[in-house]
Structure 1
Amino acid sequence: VSEHYGPPDILVHAAGLNNRVHADNINQSEWQQILWLNLSVPFFLSQHFVPYMKAKNWGRIVNFASLQTFRAFPNGISYGASKGGIGQMTRAMAEAWSSSGININAIGPGFFPTELTEQVFNDPERAERNAKLTCIGRNGRYEDLNGPLLFLCSEASVYVTGQIIMLDGGFTAK
């Protein structure tokens, strides 16, 4: 890919893992696995690609935060810790690299149908309860990610860095 398009200058970290284990029962291996994938991998991938972005004096990194960046949910201690870390890491990465023309931001999706939320969306009553917790009155759709991602990955976001844009239909506004 880099031979055809050149070195990457946009990096979006959207992978995530959640084990939904109560704090009393999580073991060290599970804890480390979730923090590694959700927090460490985005940092080290970014660190690897930042020199290419610095060479261009332009780059965009978008991390994926979560509702759990800001509030706790049942059986989500390791996931919540990792996503809380994403929020702070996004700000710290922005402080470290934005002067080199690299903007680092995060998107915080609300309730979207993913593998991580399969339990919620397989239960129509539960999905509807979550939808009612938003100001908009519905859960997220994949196309809701398009505009904010395009904005954060474009020149239009030149003065936006270190921010978390919540895409939660107003869930965190309530």
Structure 2
Amino acid sequence: MRGAAEVDDAVVEALPERRLAVVTGASRGIGRAIAVRFARDGADIVGVGSSIEGLSDVAAEVASLGRRFAPFAADLADPDAALDLAARITDDQGVPDVLVQAAGINRRAPAAEHATADWDDVLGVNLRSPFILARELGRGMVARGSGAVVFVASLLSFQGGLTVPGYAASKGGIAQLTKALANEWAQHGVNVNAVAPGYVVTDMNEALQADEVRFRQISERIPAGRWATPDDIAGAVAFLSSPDAAYVHGVVLPVDGGWLGR
């Protein structure tokens, strides 16, 4: 009969290796759903939001699933914030297994009236900061020989949209950044892909959801007959960061209910 120490050693050996996922935009919407999905799948979470207080609800939900949650606050519109954030995450948590970049903002105005400051903010949060975080945290993944980076792109990675030139430019850039990083990092065991959500029921789309005519027109245009939920997007992200996607590199995967196929 084995002693208690031997039993403990056997249990420890049987435990799966810790998996750490960094999720930006984790306080709400798609980012929160992704963080919770990873926790449900057994990962510990580094959640990034604009404030620590704003991350309290998702932190509690992750904890209820028996996983650890480390909150980090950053203003990703600040040119220096992403570099500082990457250093803080690495110093505190080490190199993550997965990096999901769900943080994003939008500014709506006709192109002829679109303010330069709005352009700069949108490109800063949606494209510059994701590149810097991927570069800084991806460097450690490449050195280790494993990891996954998943960007959140958009239908506007493929289409131009209306009154959102900065957003469309940023999401088009994300699609190309995904391919560029995949070309370099696939040989090092790091998968870089993106999901491109269609219309999702989140607070970013509240104005569209409140417009009865526009909401109906959009819904009728979606072959699936409904808007996505954040969980729909989280499922696709979970796949792209799983061993099942080990040979998937540089893909921008539409999760749009069939919108682009129509």
TM-score higher than 0.5 here?
yes
- SS of 1:106's equivalent in the other structure is strand
Q: Look up the equivalent residue of 2:245 and give its one-letter code.
A: S
Aligned to 1:42: 130
* Unaligned 5+ runs, structure 2: 1-69, 71-89
Aligned to 1:99: 187
**What's the % identity of the aligned pairs?**
35
**Moved beyond 4 Å, runs of 4+:** 1-6
1:2-41 superposed matches below 5 A: 6-41=94-129
Aligned to 1:89: 177
Give the drift of 1:5.
Answer: 6.4
Take 2:209 and 2:224, find their aligned partners in 1: how far apart are those partners?
18
* Post-superposition CA distance 1:7-49 (Å, at most 9, x none): 2120000111111111111122211111111011110001110
Check conservation: 1:13, 1:63, Cα contact below 8 A: yes
Tell me, yes or no, if structure 1 residue 119 matches structure 2 residue 207. Answer: yes
Take 2:92 and 2:121, find their aligned partners in 1: how far apart are those partners?
34
Query: Rg: which structure is higher?
Result: 2
Q: Look up the equivalent residue of 2:180 and give its one-letter code.
A: A
* Unaligned 5+ runs, structure 1: none
Q: Count residues in correspondence.
A: 174
Q: 1:156 aligns with which of 244, 247, 262?
A: 244
RMSD (Å) for aligned C-alpha atoms: 1.6
Check conservation: 2:153, 2:175, Cα contact below 8 A: yes
Check conservation: 2:202, 2:230, Cα contact below 8 A: no
Q: Look up the equivalent residue of 2:119 and give its one-letter code.
A: W
Alignment TM-score, normalising by the size of structure 1:
0.93
Higher relative contact order (CA 8 A, sep 6+): 1
Aligned to 1:66: 154
Distance 1:3 1:73, change over 3 A: closer
Take 1:107 and 1:65, find their aligned partners in 2: how far apart are those partners?
6
Take 1:84 and 1:132, find their aligned partners in 2: how far apart are those partners?
25
